[in-house]
Amino acid sequence: MAEEYQEISEALIAGDIENVKALTQKALDAGSAPGEILGKGLLPGMDVVGQRFKVGDMFIPEVLGSAKCMLDAMDLLRPLLSQSEQDGIGTVVIGTVQGDVHDIGKNLVCMMLEGSGFKVVDLGIDVKPETFIEAVKEHQPDIVGMSALLTTTMPKMGETIKAIEEAGLRSQVKIMAGGAPVTQNFIDEIGADSYGPNAAVVVEEARRLLQE
């Protein structure tokens, strides 16, 4: 079985969508537990992708290909997973802040988080502080993620955090923020918990935040 899981990991790293799906189905047909396929085949592969992306050995198109492999395989596994396995290792509510309609970076982060076992609630673009608050109340996430590409919309991150505080929800969630113009100093100023300069680091930071 270990060899089958290794094959799944290698195909995912290579971005071979058809082979990942075929190998996943083969493992299911052979009696492998869905959770084992996920935990021993797919997730280790995504970990390698994240590390290679972080150090510059993989680029965004390749990462997107691997993430697509992961999501397609999950289409086979999700109906067979237990509720606890479906919920993933944690829940992230994420969106591009109000006034900003850029979503390429956010979408990559979403795919990387989902591929790494997180449940992701994507609120989309131009997300008002009130919408973040409603999503926190509805989905009870572990983490709230905010993205901005424009310097003119960065202040909305601080406004959103303030709104979450005023709603009495700040102690319930960790808050991450990122985007091209965002810096660690800015993160410190607005009172966020973590800075995600790229999608690979976001996954690492999300895991770290869950341990706090």
A 10 A CB-CB count for 103 gives 18
Rounded Cα distance, 160 and 127, in Å: 10
Q: Are 200 and 51 in contact (CB under 8 A)?
A: yes
Q: Are 118 and 154 in contact (CB under 8 A)?
A: no
Residue, of 165 and 212, whose pLDDT is higher: 165
Domains of the chain (ranges; CATH) run: 2-85 (1.10.1240.10), 88-211 (3.40.50.280)
pLDDT tens column, 84-108: 666 678 999 999 999 999 998 898 8
Q: Are 53 and 63 in contact (CB under 8 A)?
A: yes
Rounded Cα distance, 84 and 76, in Å: 17
The pLDDT value recorded for residue 24 is 97
* Overall average pLDDT of the 78-87 stretch: 74
At 4, the pLDDT band (50, 70, 90 cuts) reads: very high
pLDDT tens column, 112-166: 898 888 999 999 999 999 999 999 999 999 999 999 999 999 999 999 999 999 9
| Closest-CA residue to 206 (of 181, 186, 177, 165) | 177
At 60, the pLDDT band (50, 70, 90 cuts) reads: confident
3-class secondary structure, 191: coil
* Overall average pLDDT of the 34-59 stretch: 91
The pLDDT value recorded for residue 86 is 66
In the chain, where do the E strands start and end?
A: 91-96, 119-122, 143-147, 174-178, 194-195
Q: pTM for the full model?
A: 0.80
The pLDDT value recorded for residue 2 is 85
At 1, the pLDDT band (50, 70, 90 cuts) reads: low
